Homo-oligomer: A and B are copies of this chain.
Amino acid sequence: MEIERKFLVPAAPDDLGAHPSTAIDQGYLAIDGDGTEVRIRRRDGASTMTVKSGGGRTRAEEELPLDDATFERLWPLTDGRRIEKVRHVIPTDTPGVEIELDTYRGDLDGLVVAEVEFAGEAEADAFEPPAWFGPEVTDDKRYKNQRLAVEGRPDGG
């Protein structure tokens, strides 16, 4: 099982440019009332479609590659349900634990969110957020990418 914690970041660290980064364009084709989403994403020139079921008995996720032409055809259908962000990957003092720092662009410009993935609950509990992390929003559904794409910044910023 994958455990993730999510934090707002008031100001990104000064040495951000020293870490590898990648631009992510992500658009939702449809978000079902039960939370199931179909999204397409382009990252480092590679495009994928991901279907995530909304939960319940059979929570599941499937990903398929898209060629460029197909991505370009589908992208217009995500109008009004998009996020653009730049992701930096930053190591921590704990081996195997990395910070994915997402700096949002476009309509969400100014929003910076850090996500940290852990192998289990114990590791997640033991994690000491760096001083530059802001409030934890792990359980705040308004910061789900799906919601951000449709509703924009929760703080209206």
Which A residues have a C-beta under 8 Å from some C-beta of B?
29-33, 36-38, 51, 53, 58, 60, 62, 64, 70, 73-74, 76-77, 79
Quick one: which of B31, B70, B79 contacts A64, CB cutoff 8 A?
A: B70
Quick one: which of B32, B62, B73 contacts A62, CB cutoff 8 A?
A: B73
Pairs across A and B, CB under 8 Å, 22 listed: A29-B32, A29-B38, A29-B51, A30-B30, A30-B31, A30-B32, A30-B37, A30-B38, A31-B33, A32-B32, A36-B77, A38-B51, A51-B74, A51-B77, A58-B76, A60-B76, A60-B77, A62-B73, A62-B74, A62-B77, A64-B70, A64-B74
Chain B residue at minimal CB-CB distance from A64: B70
Contacting pair B32 A31 (CB below 8 A): yes
Chain B residue at minimal CB-CB distance from A60: B77
Q: Which residues of B contact A51 (CB under 8 A)?
A: 29-30, 38, 74, 77
